[in-house]
Amino acid sequence: MKPELFDVVELLVDLPESNLCVGEQGAIVECFNGGKYEVEFANQYGETTAICTLNSEQFRVVWQAKTKSKVGAAPTEAS
């Protein structure tokens, strides 16, 4: 699956230079050529704590903006 703008991602690596650890989540805010993505990380108050340019091997998509669903989750029917 190719990451897309506004997808939520989870880090697979520590980024000590940005005070980020494996498992932290952020949102893709820009997609660049060559498989690079700018990801914004925020605290519980919605304040940006870091913006990092990452390659797709450094994270996994956990929520797709396009489908508004968790990755791997079964689709739900609207009531």
The predicted structure's pLDDT at residue 75: 52
67: which residues sit within 8 A by CB, 6+ positions away? Answer: 75
**Would you give per-residue pLDDT tens digits along the chain (79 residues)?**
799 999 999 999 999 999 999 999 999 999 999 999 999 999 999 999 999 999 999 999 999 999 999 996 545 554 3
**pLDDT at site 79:** 39
**Matching residue, tokens 């697979």:** 12
In 3-state terms, what secondary structure has residue 58?
helix
Rounded Cα distance between 64 and 66, Å, is: 5
Residue holding tokens 């699956």? 1
**What domains sit in the chain, N to C, each tagged with a CATH number?**
8-64 (2.30.30)
Position 61 scores a pLDDT of: 97
CA distance linking residue 29 with residue 35, whole number of Å:
14
Determine the pLDDT at residue 1.
77
